[in-house]
Structure 1
Amino acid sequence: MDRHLVHLEGSSRRAGSTGDVNSLLRSLLTDHLDPGYAIAAEKNKAGQPRTAVLWLTIGAVVLGLIFGIALTNNADVPGGAAESREIVTRIHEAQDASVELSDKRNSLAAQTDSARESALAGNADGAALLTKIDTLEAAAGVQAVHGPGLAVTLRDGTTKGRSIVLDLDIQAVVNALWASGAEAVSVGGVRIGPSVTIRHAGGAVLVDNGPVFSPYKIVAIGPPQQLHTGFVVSEAFVRMSGLSQLYGVGFDYDVSEDLSVPAAPVHELRVAQEGGR
C-alpha cells in the first residue's frame, strides 16, 4: 500500500496536483457512498413537503366538489318533505284499511259459524259433526278461551341502548309453558297457534309477523299449580332469572284464576279436499 501511495504521489507531482490526489485517496478510503446520493436525498427531503401540500390541496378540492354535488342534488329534489308526509299518510291509511278488513272478516266468520250451527244442529249426525269441529277448532286455537293459568311478564333492560329480551327468550318461555301443561298461550295479545311464529327482525320482536313491544306479556291457560311448578324448574326460568340479575331485565310471573287468551289468527283457506268415506 505504501508503495502504491508513493507511486501515485510521484505521478501527481509530475502532473502538478499533489493535493487533489491526496484528497481523492482520503475520500475513497473513508466515504463509502458517492456524493451524488447525498445530494439526491437532500433534494427529495426538500420536495416532500411541497408534494404533501399539493396532494392535500387536491384532496380538499375533490371533497368540496363531492359535497357540492350532493347538496345540489338534494336541493333539486322537489317536495322531499311533502313526499315523506304523503308516504306516512299512505301507511296509516293502509293500516286503517287492514284493521277494517280484519273486523269485517271476523264478522263474516261469526255469521258463517252461526249458519253452520243452524244447518247441522237439527239431527244427530249434524250434532256429532259440530262436536268434532269444535274439538278441532279448539286444538287449532281458533276460539277464544279464558280460565285459570299463569302470566309471565318480560320487560326490556338495556345495555348501551340495545334491547335485551329477544325472540329466543320469548320462545323459551312459551315452550316451557307448553311443556308444563298449558292448553292455550298468547304473547302480546296474539294467540300462539300451529302457523304462528315468534321471531326477531329489524330490532323488533314479531309475533305472527306483527310487532309486539315491551313489556311482553305471556299468558298461559291451564292448571295453575301445575303450570307454576313446571315453569319454575324449567331452563327458561333459569335463563330469565340470569338475564334479570345480569342485565336488569324485568321478569315477573303470577298465578291467576281468570285469564283470557284470544282466538288464533285465521289464515286464508286456499286448498280443500273432501275426505274419503
Structure 2
Amino acid sequence: MPAADSALGGYDPQAGRSERHGLHAYPAGADRVPTLIPLPGLLRSLLTEHLDPGYAAAAAERQRTGTSRRPVVTRAWQALAALLIAAVFAAAVAQARSTAPGVNAAQQVLAASVRSSEGTTDRLTSRRDDLATQVDDIQRRQLRDDATGRDLLSRLDALSLAAATTAVIGPGLTITVTDPGMARDLTDVSKQRVPGSRQVILDRDLQLVVNSLWASGAEAISVGGVRMGPNVTIRQAGGAILVDNHPISSPYTILAVGPPNSMRDSFDHSGGLQRLRLLEASYGVGVSVASGDGLSLPAGAVREIKFAKQIGP
C-alpha cells in the first residue's frame, strides 16, 4: 500500500505491531519475529477507502475520455417530459380562458337571483307585518270590552314586549360603531382579527355590546334595524355579520330603549363599551354613544311555537 494511501483516515502502516515485541527489541540475527495484531480488512477499507468504487471508476473514465456524456436516450426522455409538462400547462390555460365567460355569466345570473329573492322576501315580510297588525287590532277590539279581556290583553302586551313582537317607541341610547375598513399597520400579528379581510368589528363584539345593554336595564334592543328577541342571533358569515339571518354592514347602529340616565351610567362601566374603546384605540374604530328620545324599534318576527312548558307555580 503506498504511503499516501496508508495515511488516509489515520491509518498507520505500523498498526498491528507490538511495541514491546517489535524488531527493535531483539538483537540482529535473533530467531523471534514481532507479534502482529490482525487488523480486519473491512476496518482497513473504511479507514483508507472513502469513496465508493463506482465513483473512482467514473472519475477514471472521465479522465480517460476527457468528457462526460449522457446517454442519448436519457436526454430524449427529459425533452419528452418537458414537452409534456408544457402541453399540460397550455391546455389548462386554454381551458381557463374558454370557461371564463361562462363563469362570469353564471355569477351574474346568481347575483340577479339573489336580488330577486331578497325583493320577494321583503315583500312577503311586509305583507306578514300588515296581517299581524290586522290580527292584533281585531284581538284588541274583542278583548277590551270586559274586565277579563282587558286583564288578558295587559298580560299579552307584557308577553309581547318580552318576545319582541311589538314595536316600541321611547327614550334610550343610540350606539353607533363604524368599522374603519382597514386596520392600522401594527407589528403584533395576533391583532389581525380576520385573516385576509379588512374587517375589524366581529359578531362577538356586537354580542358583548347587546348583552351589556341588557344588563344595564334596556327593555328593548335592535341591531341594524333588526329587533333582538328570543332565538335571534348575531353570527359571523365570512366577512358579513348576520342578525337573525339578515346581513348588516358598517356603520352598525344599536338602539336600546329604557331609562337613559341609569342605563348610560351602567353601560359606561360595562365590558361592552370597554371592548369598543379598546378597538377604538387599537384600530381606529368609530364609537358613538348618545342619549335620545323617541327611539323607534320595529317588531320582531313571530316565532312558531312547537311546544311550551310552564315554569314555576
| TM-score bucket (shorter structure) | 0.7 to 0.9
* Deviation for aligned residue 1:254: 0.9
- 1:98 paired with 2:121, answer yes
Superimposed CA distance per residue, residues 177-209 of structure 1 (whole angstroms, 9 cap, x where no aligned partner): 111111111111111101110111111111111
1:155 partnered with 2:173: no
Taking a change above 3 Å as real, the CA distance of residues 242 and 73 of structure 1, as seen in their structure-2 partners, is: closer
> Superposed, which structure 2 residues align to 1:128-143 within 5 Å?
128-143=151-166
1:204 alignment partner in structure 2: 240
Q: Return closer, same or farther for 1:142/1:76 CA change in 2, 3 Å cut-off.
A: closer
Name which of structure 1's ranges 120-129 and 219-228 shifts more when overlaid on structure 2.
120-129
Within 5 Å, give how 1:1-12 maps onto structure 2.
none
Q: Of 281, 285, 288, which residue of structure 2 is paired with 1:249? A: 285
> Does 74-83 or 58-67 show the bigger shift?
74-83
The letter for the 1-side match of 2:175 is V
Tell me how large the CA RMSD over aligned residues is. Answer: 3.4
Secondary structure at the counterpart of residue 218 of structure 2:
coil
1:63-119 CA deviation, whole Å, 9 max, x = no partner?
531441463376268854433332222222211111111111111111111221222
Identity %: 37
- In the alignment, the residues of structure 1 paired with residue 308 and residue 7 of structure 2 have an alpha-carbon distance, to the nearest angstrom, of 102
* Structure 2 counterpart of 1:89: 112
Closer, same or farther in 2 for the Cα pair 1:76/1:202, shift >3 Å? closer
C-alpha spacing 1:195/1:28, structure 2 compared with 1 (3 Å): closer
Q: SS in structure 1 opposite 2:137?
A: helix
**Residue 255 of structure 2: which of 219, 223, 231 is its match?**
219
* Residue of structure 1 aligned with 2:150, choices 96, 109, 127: 127
Structure 2 residue 202 is the aligned partner of structure 1 residue 166 = yes
Give the secondary-structure state (helix, strand or coil) at the position aligned to 1:163: coil
Q: Secondary structure at the match of 1:162?
A: coil
User: Which letter does structure 2 place at the counterpart of 1:109?
Assistant: A
Cα-to-partner distance string for 1:130-178 (whole Å, 9 max, x where unaligned): 1111111011111111111111111113227521111111111111111
Letter aligned with residue 38 of structure 1: A
Pair 1:242–1:76, CA change in 2 (3 A): closer
Tell me if 1:237 matches 2:260. no
2:222 match: secondary structure? strand
Gaps of 5+ in 2: 9-47, 186-196
TM-score under structure 2 length normalisation: 0.69
- Cα distance change, pair 175–59 in 1 and its aligned pair in 2 (3 A): farther
Question: Structure 1 residues 212-221 or 111-120, which shifts more?
Answer: 111-120
